[in-house]
Copies of this chain bind each other. A is one copy, B any other.
Amino acid sequence: MNRLDVLTLAVPDVDVARRFYLDGLGLEPLLDLPGEIVFLQLNHGLTVALWSADRLAQDVGVDPASVVPGQGFTLARNTASEGEVDALTARAEAAGAQVLRPPRRAAFGGYHSYVQDPSGVRWEIAHNPGLVVGADGTVHLQEIA
């Protein structure tokens, strides 16, 4: 598991998730099967799928009670500036996300907010001067503050 190609997010209702990402945020899907599953490209070579929690549990062969939307992880969208954190947070809220942490100085030394989408998925919107992605996609990460 040396490369992550697809991240599948369990959601309670695929159409609620579609409305947030496609209508609310204006994202273009890779493949969109309303009521079934939605695929988005969210980085170079990276597919994110929004799938019913029950169908995902069935596919994996585990108890649906162990596939709870939004748990166990957070996603992050990094920004080029603190102002962009503020703007993207406002945009997410306008699209229907709940703000968990308004933009503020982060423990890691940067500036960030946390929002939760209508499916329970939690996004951090972060300005982190210590994380830089080179033109070839190499991540350069150092501690700050």
Contacts and interface: CB of A to CB of B under 8 A. Distances in A.
Contacts of A44: 43-46, 136-137
Chain copies in the assembly?
2
Contacts of A60: 74, 100-101, 114, 122, 124
A92 B53 CA distance: 24
The contact size tier of chain A is 35 or more
Given A46-B139, A101-B60, A72 B74 contact: no
A4 B71 contact: no
A66 B69 CA distance: 10
Given A31-B142, A41-B139, A100 B9 contact: no
Interface string A100-135: 110000010000001001001111111000010100
5 contacts: A4-B48, A4-B75, A44-B45, A44-B46, A47-B131
Interface of A: 1-10, 21, 25, 27, 30-31, 39, 41-48, 53, 56, 59-62, 66-78, 88, 92, 100-101, 107, 114, 117, 120-126, 131, 133, 136-139, 141-143
